[in-house]
Structure 1
């Protein structure tokens, strides 16, 4: 299944109307403003600190190169979430993609994260990937539950894998999803049941 989704795309959430847009270089300033308001802990599971302008600039270049696709969740003109699909077609794992997602604290628990994770997951399905992974700190229980609801399962625990600004280390959990199984479910049961992990 390689359906290409079109953007912008609007969804209704408890936090209000959210518009999903594919990120382009022109969005860097808006994404930087979003990232700089996030609690530092929320950035720990990302490989790089996206609240730094040079990291955002490199991110923009990766988008232009096609290695990364990022979806922005925008509410009332402000970025409130970002879901990113990262893949490396030149690696030993060209069939694997990684989802990275972060949502503004003021819209958490209001359906924005769920809608963004489903939309990013759909983007991954459209890219024809066979496997997906996502990682987060072990205390991010709501995020873990969200991805488990999409059919992701814990595959690894990386102890003391990241160090915060105070020097404290944190464990990272890696969740994985075998898309081939989802595609079989889609054929058997239809898209909604398969995406919800039923």
Structure 2
């Protein structure tokens, strides 16, 4: 079953910013996503393994979408990309049951529900893929993002000290949050709440 068999896009979502559209990212979005990524503060990119504001990195990202190892949702407001939620998985690795969620949102729309809506829908999309465990990582000072993921049931699993280095040479800690979907589902069923963790 493909991830879009149980989720339907585009999806319109009400936020404090007004209505936004959540839709799947494809090759035609490369220029718009590059413009979005290039206006992000460098600090916001530190938890990503690659610098998506570089055209060659973004081109590789689009190829990964076409191959199916990455699924990306875009948050669009008035024709402009204001956020991106990505699910990364490697079916050929030792952890084909694990997916990583990576979300970034434009600074000018933060605190207006865009990040929450994007995170919730990316999480639901990941659940619809049948993944058993989900991870999210970010710098420890991104308290708003951490709170959103904790609200979805993620818990801190690791602190990676001095794990990333910014362009100025300063090192930053990364927190890794995990959500054991299979375990939470089993617990909910044991409590008589089947379907509590649903896509």
**Cα contact 2:181–2:197 (8 A) shared by 1:** no
Instruction: Give the aligned partner of residue 48 of structure 2.
Output: 46
| 2:122 equivalent among 120, 123, 128 | 120
Q: Residue deviations 1:109-131, cap 9 Å, x none?
A: 11111110010001110100000
**1:26-175 paired onto structure 2 within 5 Å:** 26-175=28-177
**Cα contact 1:85–1:100 (8 A) shared by 2:** yes
CA distance in 2, matches of 1:190, 1:11: 26
Q: Residue deviations 1:81-123, cap 9 Å, x none?
A: 0000000000000000000000011111111111100100011
Alignment TM-score, normalising by the size of structure 1: 0.93
> RMSD value over aligned CA atoms?
1.7
Query: Number of residues paired by the alignment?
Result: 194
Instruction: Give the aligned partner of residue 11 of structure 2.
Output: 9
Going from structure 1 to structure 2, the CA distance change for 1:186 and 1:9 (only over 3 Å counts) comes to farther
CA distance in 2, matches of 1:76, 1:190: 39
> What is the Cα deviation at residue 186 of structure 1?
6.3
> What is the Cα deviation at residue 189 of structure 1?
3.8
